[in-house]
Homo-oligomer: A and B are copies of this chain.
Amino acid sequence: MSSSLSTEEKIKAAAKQVFISKGFSGCTSRELAKASGMNVALVNYYFRSKNKLFQLIFQTVMEEFFESMVSVFSSDLSLKEKLKFLIEREYAFLAKHPEIPRFIINELSRKDTDLIELTHVLPVIYNTGVIEQAIEAQKKGEMRRVDMVGITLLVISNCQYPFLAKPLIKNLHNLSDEQYQQHLELHKGMVSEMIISYLFPPVPKPNKK
């Protein structure tokens, strides 16, 4: 099935899996090679070095990571609906790629790695007009005055952490995979309701001039 891919693609796909689940320092060149059914020399023939291959993978993972987020902001919805939708999307993405937050956080925390620039991501979000939408809502007193960093933190904390901490919580509360899955589903609803009702308080304080 994967033999329809080129050697280069096969290596890239396998390396992505291995890097994501074990991290840069958690795997070897030979492991990357074997995972794609190739040998070490072949990996370096196409990608020059383990590090070059890693940088490439990391870049693509980051793009996938922000992709769905941005697409929600660009949609034609009210702010409250966007938030609800964003949380749904995040949970869906994380259900498919539960290891990615740990991967990103880890590799960005490495002090010995080449700096990775993410500054181009924020302008993309700004250009969707979601910021103006928020400022508008805040002026009207419909939305609590929380800045972009605060909102980002609120949303992704509650979405990503439950996936990040799965081994911790499972171990702590002695849960099976199925049980944890159920808790996740339950938690999604709670998180959505909690964040929405916090950012959009049910009784809006009148804010007229």
A residues with a Cβ closer than 8 A to B are 21, 23, 25-26, 99, 102, 104-106, 108-111, 116-119, 121-122, 146, 148-150, 152-154, 156-158, 160-162, 164-165, 167-169, 171-175, 183, 186-187, 190-191, 193-195, 197-198
Contacts and interface: CB of A to CB of B under 8 A. Distances in A.
Contacts of A149: 169, 173, 175, 183
Given A102-B105, A146-B190, 12 more contacts: A23-B25, A23-B106, A105-B164, A105-B165, A122-B174, A150-B183, A152-B169, A153-B161, A153-B187, A154-B158, A161-B161, A198-B198
Contact of A104 (B99, B168, B195): B168
Contacts of A168: 104-105, 108, 118
Chain A contact residues, majority secondary structure:
helix
Nearest to A151: B190
* For the complex of A and B, 3 pairs with smallest distance between CB atoms: A157-B161, A108-B167, A194-B198
